[in-house]
Structure 1
Amino acid sequence: ISYGGSPRATIALDRCARAHAWLQGRDYVSPEDVQTIAHEALRHRILISYEAEAEGVNSDQIIDELIRLTPVA
């Protein structure tokens, strides 16, 4: 990764997850809301290194790995 998500990416992730929860008729955010919108909120905020790009790695794969590695209580 050349550049990861900034603090503004976290704000966007929060706002999008809240909106998704609201659209689902809930007044609370679940981990599934965050996981559902993570790609859309973060995809364009993660810059892939040249080496990773040459190996065929894309931002969606990185987000998938982050979701997989992040423990959810």
Structure 2
Amino acid sequence: MIKVYGKENCGRCETLKRTLERKGLDYEYTQDLKTLMTVASKARIMSAPVVEKDGKFYTMENFLEVI
């Protein structure tokens, strides 16, 4: 399962969601700033969205390279 952590009014988050939908990939989207900050800090990623798949964390750009 792909988990995406984003925030309100995030154009990059919306772009990623559209891309995943176009590719037919199932994902879970969490839009909560506190959760995003916790996950981002743990993953050492300082921009939204943060993507989690198979226990690994990715920036949007890195994840798009993986898929």
Structure with a larger share of its residues in strand: 2
TM-score (norm 1): 0.28
TM-score (norm 2): 0.30
Structure number with greater Rg is 1
Structure with a larger share of its residues in helix: 1
